[in-house]
Structures are given as C-alpha cells and as structure tokens.
Amino acid sequence: MMGFEKASVIIPIFNEAESLEELYLRTEAVFSGLGLTFEFIAVNDGSSDLTYKRLLELRARFPNIGIINHRANHGKSMALMQGFALAEGDVAITMDADLQDEPENIPNLLDKLDEGYDMVIGWRASRKDPLSKRFVSGVFNVITRRLLNVHVHDINCGLKVMRKDLYKRLNLRGDLHRLIPAMSQAAGFTVSEVAITHAPRKYGSSKYQLLRHRGLLDIISLTSTLAYRVRPFHIFTEIAFIAWCVFSISLVGLIFTLLIYHDSPSALYVASPVLFFTSLTFLIIGTTFPVIGLILDNLLVHFNDERWRSTLVKEVLPPESC
C-alpha cells in the first residue's frame, strides 16, 4: 500500500516478560492487515525476569524476531541505538514493550509518514497514566516546546515511526531518547504527530521514577550542544570585554577615592576596599574567560561528533572525476 517495502519494529525491553507474546501477536496482525513485511527486533536491556526465555520461545515460532541481548541494563536510549544498528527496514517503528502504546495505531502513523515526513510521533491524547505522571510530562513538554522549539504535544511518546535516513543517524546517549523529535528537527528532518490510543499498564511496573530531573538537564544540555554555530571563544571573550569595562571603571574609582578623599575614613575603610575587590574580581574574569573560551573551542574541535555532522547533510554528490 505505501512507499515502504520493509519495516523494522524495535522494542526496548526491561523486565516485561508477561506482555511479549501479546505484543508480538498484535503487531503481527497489524502488519498482515497492511500487507507489509516486518522484522521484530527485541532488545533485552538486562532483564532479570523471564524476558529472555520468552523471547527465545517466540523466536522459535516466529523467525522474523531478532533478539539483541544487553549484558546489563544500559537504558532505553542504548537499547534503541542497538536496535537501529541492526535494523534493515526502510522505516523503523519504536514501541514500548508494555502495550500501553497500542500496535493498532501503527497504520495511522505510517500513513502520516507516507505524506512525506521523516518522523511521525504518537500523541497520547487521552493518556492512561496517573495524574502525577501526566503533570510532570506536561511540564516537560512545555519546557521542550519553548526551549527547543518542537511543536509536538507529546515529545516522550514511545511510539514513533522514522525513515531509515533518520534512524540510522540518531546518536542517543543518557536519556536522550526523550528528545528524539527535537534532535531530528534541529538537524532539518521533518516531524509530525498523530493522536493515538493509550492503555493503562497491564503487567509489570514503570521503569522510571516520577521526577526525571535528568530529563530537564538533558533539555539544557541539548539546547547548548545544538548551538554548534556559537563558538565558546566568542561568547567568553564578549563576557570578558564587559568584565574589563567594569574593572576599568572600578579602578578609576579607586584611584580617585585614594587621591581625593584620602582624609575621609569612610572612603578609606569602606569605599576603597569595595572598589579594590571589585576591580580584582573583574580583572580575574577578564583575563581567564578568553582562555576558558579558547580551551572549550579546542575541545570542541577534537570531540566534534562525526555522527551529528552526518545528520546535517541531506545529500552528498561526490566529485565525478577522481
């Protein structure tokens, strides 16, 4: 039906043994309905329950299941990265293993992707999670929309579909899976959303505590790393320039105080120490900041991320004669 030949469904799994069979069977029913070939890549992220055993049993029955086994629990971002690396589909579908984001929504997301977007994310319009969780998530969404300028309602929805161009290039560390739409959009990929149905968690329990302060820190960190056009040396030197101005003014003030008001005790014991320490502080800022900026610039040169750079390129036309 669509412009895709093969899909890769990628599932990060941490202790979700009970839901796996139902998850596979419902996904399989969806793809037979679509008439689309799919591979099912289960990434077992160091589960200590029966996940691995269940996956082996399922794989014996359904050969389109692939399993990636982490040695330990390395987190959802790393699990997704491993899945993306193995996947071969021209479209990848990421889905949580707990059946909260139901596989029956996949056709709607693929239809939207087929309109030409690079990524489509689900929007859990009537989310079946506790109020506290929805509140924290709402705040996270508002902050992300403001700081990173991504206009989707539900940036952390696990159900996403992405074209190969995009998913093969994502570079996720820490908990950056929550910001995939922001990273993709910043690189110039197009992102859209589709409302999906959402179910309460039937088995097992949530793997994340309520207050995900690291998610907020990730937003700040990503905002600064995306500002790759801004060079630290420039910013730090501009701050240093202001510091030099404050230093000069307080130094002149100090000299005047000592020359003109040297008989007044308040000038000698209050004004001049204040001016002295102000000028000293700003002298230190003015001299060290450009050096810090220069060091950061050099670090950025050495740690410049190959993969991030490749996300910025849409097409390469190599020279024809070599």
Binding site for ligand UDP (CB under 6 A): 12-14, 16, 45, 73, 75-76, 79, 96-98, 100, 158, 206-208
Rounded alpha-carbon distances, angstroms, from residue 104 to 11, 59, 122, 159, 210: 15, 22, 12, 11, 27
Rounded to 5 degrees, what are φ and ψ at 35? 70, 35
d(CA 294, CA 288): 10
Please report how close the Cβ of residue 200 comes to Mg ion at its closest, in angstroms: 9
d(CA 23, CA 20): 5
Residue of 159, 179, 167 whose CA lies nearest to 11: 159
Of 116 and 130, which CB lies nearer to ligand UDP in the complex structure?
130
73 binds, among Mg ion, ligand UDP, none (CB under 5 to 8 A by kind): ligand UDP
208 binds, among Mg ion, ligand UDP, none (CB under 5 to 8 A by kind): ligand UDP
**The tokens 């796996």 sit on which residue?**
20
Interface with Mg ion, residue 45, by CB under 5 A: no
Interface with Mg ion, residue 98, by CB under 5 A: yes
d(CA 137, CA 244): 44
Size of the residue set binding Mg ion (CB under 5 A): 3
Please report how close the Cβ of residue 129 comes to Mg ion at its closest, in angstroms: 8
82 binds, among ligand UDP, Mg ion, none (CB under 5 to 8 A by kind): none
Whether 187 contacts 311, CB under 8 Å: yes
Of 28 and 129, which CB lies nearer to ligand UDP in the complex structure?
129
Interface with Mg ion, residue 100, by CB under 5 A: yes
Using CB under 5 A, which of the segments 8-16, 99-107, 186-194, 297-305 binds Mg ion? 99-107
193 binds, among ligand UDP, Mg ion, none (CB under 5 to 8 A by kind): none
Interface with Mg ion, residue 82, by CB under 5 A: no
16 binds, among ligand UDP, Mg ion, none (CB under 5 to 8 A by kind): ligand UDP
171 binds, among ligand UDP, Mg ion, none (CB under 5 to 8 A by kind): none
d(CA 315, CA 322): 19
Buried b (16+ CB within 10 A) or exposed e, 254-269: beebeeeeeeeeebee
Please report how close the Cβ of residue 295 comes to Mg ion at its closest, in angstroms: 42
d(CA 180, CA 132): 23
Task: Look up residue 90 and give its two tokens.
Answer: 């021209």
Please report how close the Cβ of residue 15 comes to ligand UDP at its closest, in angstroms: 7
Residues that bind Mg ion (CB under 5 A): 96, 98, 100
